């Protein structure tokens, strides 16, 4: 599904996104705020692995964030399993050159609305490192509430930090 927005377009990933993906994802400042399963350095084989996985998803719950004609980042959600089946966890990242234009905010707002519209879920949550003030601001602008602080739950880039859980419920 293609979701046109004012600053960007959310659209399905394509095999041809590999070069742009490496260009924008291969950034320590992006990696530093994501789980370690997001590789660093981010190499062409890493892009191929991601694209093979995401292109096999049907229906897909992940989108490329297209900005200025290229895949400049990604956003998506994973449905919970077992007793968490009526919730989803959202995640997103954007290439550094596109930061500060309101892109993540409008992308998150759209994907959150889409998740509630298309899936039988009651809740979407996001997990954010306590030092990530930009992402916290994005979540709060979209209407997510801070629900929990898991103290010292994260070891990232050689440092321990708290993990904040933000959530939003079906209106």
Note the Cα 98 to chain centre separation in Å: 15
| β pairing state of 145-156 and 123-129 | unpaired
| Complete edge-to-edge strand list for the sheet that includes strand 159-169 | 3-4, 9-11, 62-67, 70-79, 87-94, 123-129, 159-169, 145-156
Shortest Å distance, C-beta 58 to ligand COA:
25
| Minimum CB distance to ligand COA smaller for 58 or for 76 | 76
Q: Report how far residue 150's alpha carbon sits from residue 161's, in angstroms, rounded to the nearest whole number.
A: 9
Shortest Å distance, C-beta 103 to ligand COA:
4
| Minimum CB distance to ligand COA smaller for 18 or for 90 | 90
| Minimum CB distance to ligand COA smaller for 83 or for 164 | 164
Question: Which stretches of the chain bind ligand COA, using CB under 6 A?
Answer: 30, 33-34, 92-94, 99-105, 126, 128, 132-135, 137-138
Shortest Å distance, C-beta 125 to ligand COA:
11
């Amino acid at each position: 599904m293609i979701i046109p927005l004012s600053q960007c377009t959310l659209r399905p990933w394509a095999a041809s996104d590999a070069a742009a993906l490496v260009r924008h994802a291969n950034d320590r400042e992006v990696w530093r705020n994501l789980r370690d399963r997001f590789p660093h350095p981010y190499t062409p084989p890493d892009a191929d692995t991601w694209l093979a996985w995401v292109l096999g998803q049907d229906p897909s719950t992940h989108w490329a964030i297209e900005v200025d004609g290229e895949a400049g980042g990604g956003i998506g959600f994973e449905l919970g399993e077992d007793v968490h089946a009526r919730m989803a966890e959202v995640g997103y990242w954007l290439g550094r050159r596109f930061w500060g234009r309101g892109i993540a905010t409008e992308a998150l707002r759209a994907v959150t609305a889409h998740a509630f519209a298309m899936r039988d879920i009651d809740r979407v949550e996001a997990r954010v490192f306590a030092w990530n003030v930009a992402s916290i601001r994005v979540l709060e602008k979209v209407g997510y509430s801070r629900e929990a602080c898991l103290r010292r739950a994260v070891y990232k880039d050689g440092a321990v930090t708290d993990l904040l859980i933000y959530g939003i419920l079906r209106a």
